[in-house]
Chains A and B, each alone.
Chain A
């Protein structure tokens, strides 16, 4: 009992510890910032264009989502709708003082709206090509009469000439975002204040994105056993296909398991773990195959005594029983011997191992050894 008591003391001291001493990952949203600062993509914009503002607190953390915005001159600059509350649009040349408020803490910035007019626009990327099912984001940069440039992705009007091939979003929050639909080509255009630019978007055939090999992380017991793997390809358009027959199969450790190409049939060779991979068009899918070898429990022999006449033979049979309850005929892989080959011989090589032939009258003990265990039988020659 006293041992139990002191064991309890020890366990308590070991387990109880002194509390969590980790590094906090959560930001403080409970206390108001002591100060905030407005960060603008551009403090000077052309009339009829917009720019995005953000707010950082005294810990330089972006807390834009907590801010409310106002402009002191709604004829010069005003904030956009609720979907993009931190975007301000220049309405007419002049200056406006913009204010951000976070939990009673305010910061201001002066925005200058210039009378510059748009000269040219340039869409990027130029003439892109994407596989069916994929997306791409377009942006457009405008060059103005005062030689300044501005990102007009938000302010431009976007369109696709063949929307069956690909669509491009003109919605606030996703402007310029293109989604491919079918193979083909479409012209993507962006227009602003009477100026536009366009580029050709080509949608190619779907491409293989990933390969899944099943069964995943399988385990098999025994040597010379086979496992059929299946490779399933996933394509850019979301479809899947069985690519078992077209994939190139490989085993990272062929000394543990080999695998056929085509087919994906693995054969166990030795205990261990190997990585099985299927490769197609540069895309690789992998899984592990664990091979375990059962432990020999015992050997049985078909008969422990055999009577032969001179010149006749008997084929002995040795069966091995393993820890996983499986059995295997190991006659042909046993080491055979006879205590007196002048009385009875036994075949020790080739496929006829275990064949005992009487030579002269007498008796001999026949032994079969496999994996460290030996089974014997007495042969009497009459």
Chain B
């Protein structure tokens, strides 16, 4: 039941993001056209999806609690009218750390503990729609690598897995920039982040691979120069 509730919460988060974004698109027109370098920070909530985990003995499920995440990025805004398109490219570092909530085996569901932490470094490419408004919707993709660390994962208090793995990572993101001034803007966004399957060693010697996909809502500040 907890897993289903988590799924419902995740879906509600997504719907809420879209619902909140729609009226903001109708705000009064104050054109914001920053171009050039910028830095930014993002804070947000992160919901790690129920993860299918597989070893030579079968599949089991890992469910995590939502947690905060933080990002820092440095990038470049292309000037409006740029022939290669309007948008920005950035280097983004993000840390997400989710507590293990439940572990589901064939016998049933058990309480979990420990944390799964992902440190990712991505290059993001965002296309930005600029029109005569303080609002600039954007959509884009990012690619890079993530180091995923399993810190003392336990099931019912007994060791499950520990270790870390570095894997390919990618994300898709969308959101809206609110221009406060020509150089300062607020970023409200959504990110769908995923990696190739990290591999960890189980306490009993087997190794397992797990899915890693997460939904995030982020709010942050960008300072242009």
Return the contact of B59 from the options A2, A12, A17, A25 (Cβ within 8 A).
A25
A16 to chain B, nearest CB (A): 5
Which of B3, B86, B139 has the most C-beta atoms of chain A within 10 angstroms of its own C-beta? B139
Residues from chain A with Cβ under 8 Å of B203 in the complex:
30
A64 to chain B, nearest CB (A): 16
Q: Is the CB of A4 within 8 A of B127?
A: yes
Whether a CB of chain A sits under 8 angstroms from the CB of B49 is yes
Whether a CB of chain A sits under 8 angstroms from the CB of B129 is yes
Closest to A8 in B: B139
Whether a CB of chain B sits under 8 angstroms from the CB of A82 is no
Return the contact of B110 from the options A8, A26, A28 (Cβ within 8 A).
A28
Question: A12-B172, A19-B51 known; A30 and B155 CB under 8 Å?
Answer: yes
Return the contact of A5 from the options B58, B157, B174 (Cβ within 8 A).
B174
A-B contact count (CB 8 A): 110
Q: Which chain A residues (5-26) contact chain B, with CB distance < 8 Å?
A: 5, 8-9, 11-13, 15-26
* Chain A interfacial positions (CB closer than 8 Å to B): 1-2, 4-5, 8-9, 11-13, 15-32, 59, 61
Q: Is the CB of B59 within 8 A of A22?
A: yes
Closest to B159 in A: A30
Q: Is the CB of B139 within 8 A of A20?
A: no
Whether a CB of chain A sits under 8 angstroms from the CB of B160 is yes
Q: Which chain B residues (89-141) contact chain A, with CB distance < 8 Å?
A: 103-107, 110, 127, 129, 137-140
Q: Which chain B residues (179-225) contact chain A, with CB distance < 8 Å?
A: 190, 192, 202-204, 211, 213, 215
Residues from chain B with Cβ under 8 Å of A20 in the complex:
49-52, 61, 211
Q: Is the CB of A12 within 8 A of B192?
A: yes
Q: Is the CB of A18 within 8 A of B155?
A: no
Residues from chain A with Cβ under 8 Å of B204 in the complex:
29-30
Whether a CB of chain A sits under 8 angstroms from the CB of B60 is yes
B123 to chain A, nearest CB (A): 18
Residues from chain B with Cβ under 8 Å of A30 in the complex:
103, 155-156, 158-160, 202-204
Whether a CB of chain A sits under 8 angstroms from the CB of B14 is yes
CA distance A20 to B107 in the complex (A): 17
A9 to chain B, nearest CB (A): 6
Q: Is the CB of B107 within 8 A of A28?
A: yes
B197 to chain A, nearest CB (A): 12
Residues from chain A with Cβ under 8 Å of B50 in the complex:
18-21
* Interface residues as binary, B56-67 with A (CB distance below 8 Å gives 1, 0 otherwise): 011111010000
Residues from chain B with Cβ under 8 Å of A29 in the complex:
57, 204
Residues from chain B with Cβ under 8 Å of A1 in the complex:
86, 127, 129
CA distance A381 to B175 in the complex (A): 82
Q: Is the CB of A24 within 8 A of B7?
A: no
Q: Is the CB of B105 within 8 A of A24?
A: yes
Closest to A61 in B: B107
* Interface residues as binary, B70-103 with A (CB distance below 8 Å gives 1, 0 otherwise): 0000000000000000100000000000000001
Q: Is the CB of A24 within 8 A of B58?
A: yes
CA distance A23 to B58 in the complex (A): 10
Question: A9-B139, A59-B107 known; A18 and B7 CB under 8 Å?
Answer: yes
24 contacts between A and B (CB under 8 A): A1-B86, A2-B137, A4-B139, A12-B190, A16-B14, A17-B49, A19-B7, A19-B10, A19-B51, A20-B49, A20-B50, A20-B52, A20-B61, A23-B106, A24-B106, A25-B59, A26-B57, A26-B59, A27-B58, A27-B107, A28-B155, A29-B57, A30-B156, A30-B158
CA distance A23 to B6 in the complex (A): 17
B212 to chain A, nearest CB (A): 11
Query: A13-B18, A22-B61 provided; 6 other pairs, C-beta below 8 A?
Result: A5-B138, A13-B14, A18-B10, A18-B11, A28-B155, A30-B204
